[in-house]
Amino acid sequence: MLMILLGLYLVAFTFLSVKYFRLAVQLFIITLPSYLIRFSIGPLPSTLLELEFGVIVLVWLVRYAKNDLPVIQTFFKQNRVFAAALGVFFITSVAGIFVSDMWFYSLGQWRAYFLEPLVFFIILIGRRKEISAKHLVFALILSTISINCLGIIQKITGAWYPPSLWDDELFGRVTSFFTSPNAVALYLAPLVALAGIFWADQNNSRKKIILLATGLSIVTLILTKSLGAWLALFAGGLIFLFFIGYKKSTLMALVFALVVGSLPPISSLLLAKEKSGSNRLTLWSYSWNYLSASPKNFVFGAGIRQFFRKVQKPFYTPQEIERLIYPHNVFLNFWTEIGLFGMIGFIIIFILLFNKAKEFYQTNRLPGASLLAALVIFLVHGLVDVPYFKNDLAFLFWILAAIIWSLSLRTTKLPIIEHEQK
C-alpha cells in the first residue's frame, strides 16, 4: 500500500514539475522533512525526498538545462573565488568517500549531504529569474508549519512522538517529526530570522501567514529547550538590531543579558546544561587527538560518516556519553568528514555569503539584516551542534546560499524600512 501511495504521489509530483516547475520546487522545499519517509527500491535504500529531487533534476535536464547552462557558466565566471571554493569543497567531499574504508556506506551520505544539495543550488542559480528569492523564502517558512503544529501537539498531549534515536529521556522537550529536539531547533532557528525579508512586504495576506508561522516557530523553539538555539537566536537578534540601526539598543541588550545571566537562578539553569557542555568538550578533544595523530588524519580527516568508528569508539563508554556521529562543532564537523581543505573551502564559502549579504544590506536594509542574522544563527548554533550534516539541513544551507546570491544579483530593490540611529 505504501508503495502504491508513493507511486501516485510521484506521478502527481512529476505532472506538477512539468507544468509548473516553480511550484514543484516550492513543494519540494516545503516537504524537506520527507527524507524521514524511508523505503528500499530493491536493494537500494531511498527516501521520498530523494525521489522528489530526482524528478526535479530530470525535468530540469529535459526542459531547462540548455537555456540555464549559459546563465550558470556566467555566474561562476563572474564569481571565480566562490567557484574555486565550491570546487575545493566538492572535490574534498568526493575524497571523503575514499578516505573512509567503508566507501559504499559513505557514498550514500555523500549523495545526500553534498551532491544533491549542490546540484539543487546550481539549478536555483540557473532558474533564479523564474524562482525568486521570495519564492524560496516563502516555501521555507511554509515548511515550518507542520513541524511546529506537531511539536505543539506533542507538548499539549504528551503523545505522537516518533521513536527516539537513542531512546533518550526527553524531559518534556518536543521533537516533532524528528528523532531529537535539537534537530527541530537546527531547522527552525535560521528561518525565524529569514522571515524578516517579508516584514516590509505590502502583500498583507502572505505577510499574515509569515507572521503566524514565525510565531509558531518561536513557540516550538522554546519547547525544544535547546540552549544552543536560544543563544544563537539571541546572537542573531543582536546582529539584526545592530544592522537596522539600533546600535545603542543592541549594546544595552547585550549588557542586560550578561548581567541577567550572572544571576543565581539563570546561572543555575545554565549549570544544569553543564553535562551537555562537558560532552561537547570531550568530543572536541577526541577530534583533536585523532586529527593531530598523523599528517594523514590532519589533512584528510576520518572520512564521511566515520566519526564514531574512528574517532569516538576507542574512548567510548556508554555510561559517560552516548554514541555520536559528529563532534558537534561546525568546523570540526567538516574537518573530520572531508578534511582540512574541505573545512577551509566551507569557511571561504561562508565568508563570501556573509559579504554578499552585507553588500545587499547596503541598499536593502531590513531584508539584508535578516540574511545576516540567519547566517549568524547558523554559525553560532554550529559552534555547539551539527547545522549541516542532515538531509534537510544540507538542502537548507544551499537554499539559503541561493537566496543570498539571487538577491545580490537583482537589479531591482526590495522595499526598505529605514530606522534612525538609536
Q: Answer yes or no: is pLDDT of 96 > 80.
A: yes
- CA atoms 362, 364, 367, 371: torsion sign: negative
Determine the Cα–Cα distance for residues 188 and 135; give it in Å rounded to an integer.
18
For residues 148 and 220, is the Cβ–Cβ distance under 8 A? yes
Backbone angles phi, psi at 47, to 5 degrees: -135, 165
pTM for this structure? 0.91
Q: In this model, does residue 47 exceed pLDDT 50?
A: yes
65 burial level (CB within 10 Å; 0-12, 13-18, 19+): middle
State the pLDDT at residue 88: 97
Of 366, 367, 369, 396, the C-alpha closest to 381 is 396
Q: How far apart are CA 255 and CA 258, in angstroms?
A: 5
Find out whether 325 and 286 touch, Cβ atoms under 8 Å. Answer: no
Q: In the predicted model, is pLDDT for residue 319 greater than 90?
A: no
204: left (phi over 0), alpha (psi -120 to 50) or beta: alpha
* Digit-coded pLDDT (tens) for 136-191: 999 999 999 999 999 999 999 888 787 765 545 566 789 999 988 999 999 999 99
Angle between helical axes of 65-78 and 116-126 (0-180°, round to 10): 100
pLDDT reading at 69 higher than 80: yes
Length of the chain: 422
Query: How many Cα neighbours within 13 Å face the side chain of 136?
Result: 26
Cα 400 from Cα 375, distance rounded (Å): 9
Using an 8 Å Cβ cutoff, are 290 and 335 in contact? no
Q: What is the arithmetic mean of pLDDT over 255-269?
A: 63
Mean pLDDT taken over the chain: 88
In sequence order, the 6+-apart residues with CB closer than 8 A to the CB of 69 are 126
Q: How do the domains of the chain map onto residue ranges?
A: 1-63, 67-408
How confident is the model at residue 276, as a pLDDT?
58
Percent of the residues in the chain that have a pLDDT greater than 90, as a whole number? 66
Q: Say if residues 361 and 374 touch (Cβ distance below 8 Å).
A: no
Choice among 196-205, 206-215, 260-269, 396-405 with the minimum mean pLDDT? 260-269
Phi-psi region of 324 (alpha: psi -120 to 50; beta: other; left: phi over 0): beta
pLDDT at position 38, please? 87
Residue 2 pLDDT > 50, yes or no?
A: yes
Question: Which 3-state string (H, E, C) describes 38-73?
Answer: EEEECCEEEEHHHHHHHHHHHHHHHHCHHHHHHHHH
> Are residues 326 and 304 in contact, defined by beta-carbon separation less than 8 angstroms?
no
Q: Is 211 helix (H, G, I), strand (E, B) or coil?
A: helix
Does the CA dihedral 225-276-376-402 come out positive or negative? negative
What is the DSSP code string of 78-96?
H-HHHHHHHHHHHHHHHHH
pLDDT of residue 122: 97
Q: DSSP strand E in 227-376: where?
A: none
Residue 164's pLDDT is 64
* pLDDT exceeds 70 at position 213: yes
Per the listing, cell 521555507 goes with 140
Contact between residue 300 and residue 100 where contact means Cβ atoms under 8 Å apart? no
